[in-house]
């Protein structure tokens, strides 16, 4: 019998390319651009740091950017806008997505989610103004709004699309039932669902592995996870993973209060990365990308060296045995 390590498994399908053929396999998350989450102005040093991160990404084959209107209170998008102003040709090299719906507490109300048509359209206008561009390739609805009216969202998107301001729509942090409800009102497919997925956040895997087993009673919400993954795969919705590196837990930033199981998992990642002459970051992202759903991880770092280390994941195909070694180490107890 052929040894498992020698089997060349095909790379998983990547549904977003059916609509945006030039998207990269990884996404650069821009949450840390622009300095702190405060009212201080954008400085030249912030723009220089964003430029260094962007250049590292482009050199490494990462050409899709993930923004949100709340990131550093809009300053992340301002930095990007300044880079576009200085080098307009950059826009043609990038797939640009941003998100809206989260409203921090202000004079009008408490911290809240807002998917009213008025807020969506005003948010897009402000995003485009900060980015200094005419359109977004993708707009994601950042968090589900319990007061959302699907027909109202659909009407807002139709107006934005007709005006050439947004090409495609996606969501973030939504379950299958919410996707179905929204999709029923749209005449264009939802392209993305951005969810927290990593070796430390395993609900999406446990939903299927522990179904119909006593272990399934240990955590709530597994049915929703299983339904959501199956819906996204069947409907061709691109799964994007935020928090894909679990804040560095298994790649050199283990917290002081880490459990023994987490320490052992971090040690295994370090050992496997050294054995394969790969970065720990690449190994962790390759683990996510090995799943047949074609998961697209977000790289949230602004450190050029870390971005380059993450980009190596696009060149890796993880064996089934290695995938399970990492999964079992993170899971910290045997499979059913």
Q: Say if residues 217 and 275 touch (Cβ distance below 8 Å).
A: no
Lookup result for tokens 């993305």: 192
Q: Of 139, 127, 128, nearest to 73 (Cα)?
A: 127
The answer to whether 71 is a known catalytic residue is: yes
Q: Of 271, 274, 297, 300, nearest to 285 (Cα)?
A: 297
| b/e 4-25 (16+ beta carbons within 10 angstroms → b) | eeeeeeeeeeebbeebbeebbb
Backbone angles phi, psi at 331, to 5 degrees: -65, -35
Catalytic residue among 71, 231, 324, 327: 71
Q: Which residues contact 145 (CB under 8 A, 6 or more apart)?
A: 101, 113, 114, 115, 116
CA distance linking residue 286 with residue 280, whole number of Å: 10
The tokens describing 95, both together, are: 């797939």
- In Å, the largest CA–CA distance within the chain is 68
The H-assigned helical ranges of 210-279 are 222-235, 260-276
Q: Of 137, 200, 222, 142, nearest to 174 (Cα)?
A: 142
Write out the catalytic residue numbers. 71
């Amino acid at each position: 019998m052929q040894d498992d390590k020698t089997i060349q498994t095909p790379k998983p399908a990547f549904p977003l390319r059916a609509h945006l053929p030039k998207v990269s396999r990884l996404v650069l998350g821009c949450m840390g651009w622009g300095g702190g989450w405060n009212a201080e102005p954008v400085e030249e040093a912030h723009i220089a740091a964003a430029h260094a991160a962007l250049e590292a990404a482009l050199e490494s084959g990462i050409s899709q950017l993930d923004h949100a209107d709340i990131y550093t209170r809009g300053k992340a998008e301002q930095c990007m806008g300044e880079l576009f102003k200085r080098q307009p040709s950059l826009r043609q090299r990038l797939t640009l997505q941003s998100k809206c719906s989260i409203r921090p507490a202000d004079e009008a109300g408490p911290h809240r989610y807002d998917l009213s048509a008025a807020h969506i359209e005003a948010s897009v206008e402000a995003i485009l103004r900060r980015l200094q561009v005419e359109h977004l390739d993708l707009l994601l609805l950042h968090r589900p709004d319990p007061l959302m009216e699907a027909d109202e969202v659909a009407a807002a998107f139709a107006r934005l699309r007709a005006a050439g301001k947004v090409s495609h729509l996606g969501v973030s942090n939504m379950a299958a039932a919410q996707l179905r409800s929204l999709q029923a009102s749209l005449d264009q497919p939802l392209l993305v669902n951005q969810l927290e997925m990593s070796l430390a956040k395993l609900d999406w895997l446990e939903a299927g592995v522990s179904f119909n087993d006593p272990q399934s009673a240990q955590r709530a919400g597994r049915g929703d996870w299983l339904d959501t993954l199956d819906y996204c795969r069947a409907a061709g919705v691109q799964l994007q993973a935020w928090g894909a590196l679990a804040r560095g837990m298994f790649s050199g930033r283990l917290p002081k209060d880490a459990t023994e199981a987490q320490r052992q998992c971090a040690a295994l990642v370090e050992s496997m990365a050294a054995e394969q002459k790969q970065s720990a970051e690449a190994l962790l992202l390759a683990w996510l990308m090995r799943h047949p759903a074609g998961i697209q991880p977000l790289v949230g770092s602004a450190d050029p060296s870390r971005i380059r280390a993450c980009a190596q994941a696009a060149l890796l195909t993880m064996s089934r045995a290695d995938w399970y070694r990492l999964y079992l180490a993170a899971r910290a107890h045997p499979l059913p």
